[in-house]
Structure 1
Amino acid sequence: MTYAADGLAALEAQLQQDLEYLELPAKSWVPERTQDGAPVRDVVVIGAGMCGLAAVAKLQFTGISNVVAYDAAPAGLEGPWVTFARMETLRSPKSLHGPALGMAQLTFRAWFTAQWGKEAWQELDKIPKAQWMDYLIWYRKVLNLPVRNNVRINNIAFADDLIALDLSGAETGRIYTRRLVLATGRSGLGGFAVPDFLQGISRQFWAHSADDIDFSALKGKRIAVIGAGASSMDNAATALEHGAGAVDLLIRRKQMPRINKMTGIGSQGVVHGMHHLPDAWKWKFVDYTATTQTPPPRSSTLRVSRHANARFLLDCGINAVKEEADGLLIETTQGPFCYDFLIAATGFSNDFHGRPEFAAIAPHIRSWRDGRYQPEMGAPRPGLLEAPDLGPAFEFRELTPGACPLLAHIHCFNDAAMLTHGKVSGDIPAVSAGAERLVRGITASLFAEDVEQHYANLQAFDTPELQGDEWVDSTPLLNQENAQ
C-alpha cells in the first residue's frame, strides 16, 4: 500500500472544521469546585482503552471539560489490542463506526482511506489488530484527549459529597472527583475467571489467556488450552507459531459452536431497545447467547488446524488437575493427559470483591443476585447473577438503600454492564451509543446537583441585548390623543 501523509492531514483539517461547525466541544458549563484547596474534577475515567476514550470525548463534546482519564498502561498499550489480544485481525466488520460518536471524519474508514486510498479499503478484509490500536492512538491525538498514562488507582473512598482517589505511578497522591467512570474493559470489575480445578496449582505450570505469556518458553512443550472460544484459538495458534511441540484444545462441548447468534440480530433496535426490556427478557437474551456460545472466528480456527501437531478434543471435560514434578496430569472425561503447561481461556469474572481498589465500594454494590433475578427467568447462571444491577446511566445501585448514597456517582462503563444495558460498553459496534447514554446521564445529574447555582446564574445574568435606543415609547402621545 502507498501511504499518503498529506491525506491524513487533510482529514484532520476537515475534522476540525466539522467540530467548529457543530460547536464542539461545547462551552464549559459545570461550576468549578475545590476540596482542601485543590481543584475537583467533574469526572475521572479509569481506563483509556476504546470505551474510556469514547467516554472522555463525549464528555468534552458535551461541555464537561474538567475531565481526565487514567490508565495503568504505558501510552500506546491501553486495552487488549497489542497486549493479550492474540488474534491477527478483529472479528468485527471493518465498516463499523465504533467510537466515532456520529462523526464520519472520526471513523476508522476515514482514517484508513485518507492514508491508503479507496482501492486499498476495498481490498481490506478484516482490520489488523495493531492497525486498530494505531487508529485509537490517532483518535486520542486528534481530539487532544486528556489521558494520563502509567497511573494506577489504588483506592476509592468518599469525602463529603466527593469521590476520593488515591493514585500511584506517574501521578501520586489523592485527587477528588464528582463522578467516576470505570472504563475497565473486558475484565470489568473482577478479573480472571479461574476454574476451581486450578486453585492451588503453581503458576509455573499454567497461565490465563490474558496473562503476559512468554510463548518462546513453550517451544517444544506439550500444551493444553481450555475452551473453544476466540481467545482459546488465538492462544493455541500463538503457541503453535512459537514452536510448541503439541497443542491440545480441551473442549467440554460435544460440538463446536458454529453460529454467532447476536450478530444475526444486530440492529439499532437491539442497541437502543435492549436496556428498556423487562428483566426477564434481558436475562433470556443473555442466557441464551451464553448457552449457545459465540463461535471462534473461522480464520482463528483455521490458524490452529493448519498445524499437524494441534488436536481438537471434543466432549473433553476436565475433572481434576494434578501438579507433578515436571508438569500437569489432567484427568478428563476422555481419560488422563500429561502436559508441560496449560493456558486457561476461561474468560473474566464480575466478582469485584477480589479487587483491593474496590474494597470500599464492593460491599455496597447491588448485583442481579440481590433481587433482580427471579427463578422463573431461567437457570441461575453464576456469571449473570454476579453482574451489577445498574441504573439508566450505568450507575451502581446500593445493596442497602441509604448505606452508600455516593455509589450512584460511580458508573460501570465496561463489559460487566452487558446484562443491564446490552453490548454497548465493551465491543466495537455500539460503543458510541453507550458513550452517549453514559454522558446524557452524567450531564443531567451534574446539572440537577448544581441547580441552585444555575438558577443564581440565571438571575445574575445582566448583559442586555437591547440598548434602549431601538424604539420610541408612544404611550404618552396616545394618552394625549385620548385626552382630547
Structure 2
Amino acid sequence: MTPISPAATPSSWPHPPSLDALEARLRQDLDWLCRPAKAWVPSRGRGVLDVAIIGGGMAGLTLAAALKHQGIQAIAFDRAPQGLEGPWATTARMETLRSPKELTGPALGLPALTFRAWYEAQFGLAAWQALDKIPRLQWMDYLRWYRRVLALDVRNRQRVVDVRPRADGKLVSLQLRDEQQQDRPYEVLARHVVLATGHDGLGGPWLPDWAAQLPRDRRAHSSDDYDVAALRGRRVVVIGGGASAMDSAATALEAGAARVDLLIRRDDLPRINKSKGAGSPGMLHGYWQLADEWKWRWRHYINEQQIPPPHNSTLRVSRHANAHFHFGTPVRSASQRADGALRLDTARGPLATDFVIFCTGFRTDWQQRPEYAAIAPHVRLWQDRYQPPAGLEDAELAGSPDVGSLFEFRQKTDGACPGLERIHAFCYPAALSQGAGAGDIPQISVGAQRLAEGLAASLLLEDAPLHFAALQHYDDPELLGNEWAPATFPAYEDDSELVS
C-alpha cells in the first residue's frame, strides 16, 4: 500500500485584524469545553484512518470538525482546488443563500463559529442588521475561514476512483488519484468512510430523454460549469420553474442573452414552501425515528407540492423585458434545424432557440458514479423493502438508499457484501431515511454531531477488548503512599477499659 498523499499546503487566505478577537474567543470556548478531545481510538496500523470523508464542502467540513472534537482521526478528500469545494463559488448562480441569515449552520453549537459572528467581526452589528440574506460568495468565504480556524485536514484535488470494503469486512479501501502529482494512484484504508457528497452524491443530474436529441455543446444542466458569457446575444431556453431555473435564467439575462424562455410544465408556480412547515426541533431530532409510512408521506408530500423559487430570485428574472414565462409547456421532443437553430416541440407548439439549460434536479443514479460500482449492486434501496400506499408512488423516493441510524448503507442480501455498513451516506439521497441533516444548512450541525457521536460509540464497541486491556494496564497513580502516616493502635490490658 502506498502512503497517504501529503496534505495540501495550509490555507493562506488573508483576513482583517478584526477577526483576531473572534478567533481568540473561539479558541477560549474550545479550551473551556475541552475540545478537541485527546485521541483515544487504538491504531489499526500505519496509514489506517479512523474515518475517511469523501467531500470537503459544507457537510464534509462540519463532520470533520465534529469528529475532531470527539478525538477521532478524520481526513477529507475533495477533487476541487482549495477554496472551491462545493457549488458556492463554481456552479451555484443565486445572488444569496435561500436560508434565513440567522440559521447557525455548521457552527456545532459554538456562537463564535457562526456566520453571524464571522460577519459582525468584519463589518459590525449595523451591517448585520441591514443584511437581508447571506451573499453566496461570502458564504464560501466563511467556509474557507471555518476550515482554516479549526485546522481541518482536507486534501484537495484528490479524485476517488474506487470504494469497496475489504473481504474481511473490517476496513474500507479507497483508491484515489492525486491530481496535484500527475494523477498518481494511491490507496487509503479506513475503518469508516463517509460520503459527504451533496445533492448529487449518489448519482448526478437528471435529464429528460429528449435531451439526447440536442447537440452536447448546445445544452447544459444547471449544475454544469458552462461558459455563461457565451450566451450573450443568443436565445436561451430554461427547462423548469424552481430556484435553479430562476438563477440560471437570471444569470443568462445578466450576461446579455437576447431572449430567455422558461418552459414550465405546471400551470402555475407553487406559492408556499411546504418544507418550512416541518421545521422544528422535533423534526431535527426525531424525524429519523418516524415509522416508514410517515417518512414516505412527509417526503412525498413535499415532492408533490414542490418548493417555490425564492421571491427575490423570481423578481431577478421578471424585471427583464426579454424574459418570458411559459406555463403548461412541457417539451415532447427536440431537434436541430437546417439553419443551426434548435427546435423544441412543446405542448403549445414549436419554439426555436440557440441553447437549452436543464434545471431538472438530480437523481440517485449509480451509473453516473463508477467509483461506487463495487458496492452499488449490494445497497438496499427503499423499493427493495417498502411498498407505498396506492396513489403515493414516487420513483425518486423509491430509489433512495435505505440507510441506518448512522447513515450507513445496508445490504440488499445479508452477507453478500461484508463491511458495507462501514460506508455512510451523509448526503442528500439519505434524506428519506434520515431527514435533511446531511446537507441542508438548517440541520447540518445536528446531523454531523449525531453521526460523529455514533461513530465514536461504534469505534468503542468494536474495540472494547482493547480498551479493557488498556484499563488493566493503566498505572498512573492517584496516590503515592506518602500522603499519610499509619497510626499506632492503642493497647488495652482488659476489655473493661473499652467500656465508658
Q: Tell me how far 1:354 sits from its aligned partner.
A: 2.9
Residue 474 of structure 1 deviates from its aligned partner by: 6.2
Residue-pair matches, total = 477
The 1:400–1:5 alpha-carbon spacing in structure 2 relative to 1, beyond 3 Å, is same
SS in 2 for 1:186: coil
Aligned pairs for 1:448-467 (under 5 A) are 448-467=461-480
Q: Pick closer, same or farther for the CA change 1:481–1:130 going to 2, 3 Å.
A: farther
Report the equivalent of 1:364. Answer: 378
Which of 102, 106, 117 is 2:113 aligned to? 106
Match of 2:57 among 49, 54, 57: 49
| 8 Å Cα contact 1:215/1:238 also seen in 2 | yes
C-alpha separation between the residues in 2 aligned to 1:118 and 1:316?
A: 47
Partner of residue 354, structure 1: 368
Is the Cα–Cα contact under 8 Å of residues 83 and 144 in structure 2 kept in the other structure?
yes
Offset of residue 468 of structure 1: 2.2
**Alignment match, 1:443:** 456
Q: Does 1:275 align with 2:282?
A: no
Match of 2:353 among 339, 344, 350: 339
Mapped to 2, the partners of 1:481 and 1:125 lie a distance apart of 91
Q: Which of residues 330, 333, 336 is equivalent to 2:344?
A: 330
Q: Deviations over 1:174-203 (max 9, x none)?
A: 111111010001112101111112135321
Pairwise CA distance, 1:472: 5.2
Question: Any conservation in 1 of the 2:239–2:357 contact (CA below 8 Å)?
Answer: yes
Q: 1:473 to 1:235 in 2, by over 3 A?
A: same
Which of 147, 154, 165 is equivalent to 2:154?
Answer: 147
In structure 1, runs of 5+ residues without a counterpart are none
Kindly provide the amino acid, as one letter, of the partner of residue 141 in structure 2: D
Measured on the aligned residues, the alpha-carbon RMSD in Å equals: 1.9
Is 1:304 the counterpart of 2:321? The answer is no
CA distance in 1, matches of 2:398, 2:57: 26
Work out which of the residue numbers 361, 367, 375 in structure 1 matches 2:388.
Answer: 375
Tell me: CA distance 1:322–1:10, structure 2 relative to 1, closer, same or farther (3 Å).
same
Separation in 2, partners of 1:426, 1:388: 15
> Please, which of 241, 257, 261 is the counterpart of residue 228 of structure 1?
241
CA distance in 1 between counterparts of 2:346 and 2:214 reads 17
Q: Distance in 2 between matches of 1:241 and 1:15?
A: 40
Task: Report the Cα distance in structure 2 between the residues aligned to 1:438 and 1:4, rounded to whole angstroms.
Answer: 32
Residues 4-30 of structure 1, C-alpha deviations (whole Å, 9 max, x = no match)? 933210000010011111100001100
| Residue deviations 1:317-350 (CA, integer Å, cap 9, x gap) | 1111223341321111111111111000011111
Tell me the residue number matched to 2:206. 193
Structure 1-normalised TM-score?
A: 0.95
Q: Which residue of 2 aligns with 1:92?
A: 99
Give me the whole-angstrom Cα distance separating, in 1, the residues matched to 2:42 and 2:196. 25
Q: Distance in 2 between matches of 1:320 and 1:482?
A: 112
What is the identity percentage for the equivalent residue pairs of Structure 1 and Structure 2? 52
Q: Cα 1:276–1:158, aligned 2, differ >3 Å: closer, same or farther?
A: closer
Q: Take 2:437 and 2:197, find their aligned partners in 1: how far apart are those partners?
A: 14
- Secondary structure of the residue aligned to 1:405 is coil
SS at the partner of 1:304? helix
Pick aligned residue for 2:143 from 112, 136, 141: 136
1:410 match: 423
Q: TM-score, normalization: structure 2?
A: 0.92
Aligned to 1:51, what secondary structure does the other structure show?
A: helix
Q: Secondary structure at the match of 1:375?
A: coil
CA contact (8 A) 1:236 1:304 kept: yes
Aligned to 2:26: 15
1:177 aligns to what SS in structure 2?
Answer: strand
Alpha-carbon separation, structure 2, partners of 1:314 and 1:360:
43
Q: CA deviation at 1:450?
A: 0.8
Q: Which residue of 2 aligns with 1:288?
A: 301
Distance 1:99 1:476, change over 3 A: same
Equivalent pair of 2:330/2:346 in contact (CA under 8 Å)? yes
SS of the aligned residue for 1:91 comes to: coil
Check 1:178–1:4 CA distance in 2 against 1; reply closer, same or farther (3 A cut): closer
- For structure 2, which runs of at least 5 residues remain unmatched after alignment? 1-13
Q: Is the 8 A contact 1:223 1:341 kept in 2?
A: yes
Are positions 1:429 and 2:426 aligned together? no
CA contact (8 A) 1:108 1:135 kept: yes
Match of 1:149, as an amino acid? Answer: N
Report deviation, 1:208: 0.5
Preserved CA contact (<8 Å) 1:4 1:116? no
Structure 1 Cα separation of the partners of residues 492 and 461 of structure 2? 48
State the shift of 1:409 in Å. Answer: 0.5
Distance 2:392 2:345 in 1: 28
Contact 1:4–1:114, Cα closer than 8 Å, also in 2: no
Tell me if the contact between 1:74 and 1:149 (Cα under 8 Å) persists in the aligned partners.
yes
1:99 counterpart letter in structure 2: P
Amino acid at match of 2:193: L
Instruction: Give me the whole-angstrom Cα distance separating, in 2, the residues matched to 1:85 and 1:479.
Output: 92
Could you tell me which residue of structure 1 aligns to residue 48 of structure 2? 40
How far is 1:480 from its partner? 9.5
Q: Work out the CA distance in 1 between the residues paired with 2:334 and 2:289.
A: 44
Give the secondary-structure state (helix, strand or coil) at the position aligned to 1:84.
coil
> Partner of 2:10 in structure 1?
none
1:163 is the counterpart of 2:172: yes
* 8 Å contact from structure 1 (residues 393, 440) kept in 2: no
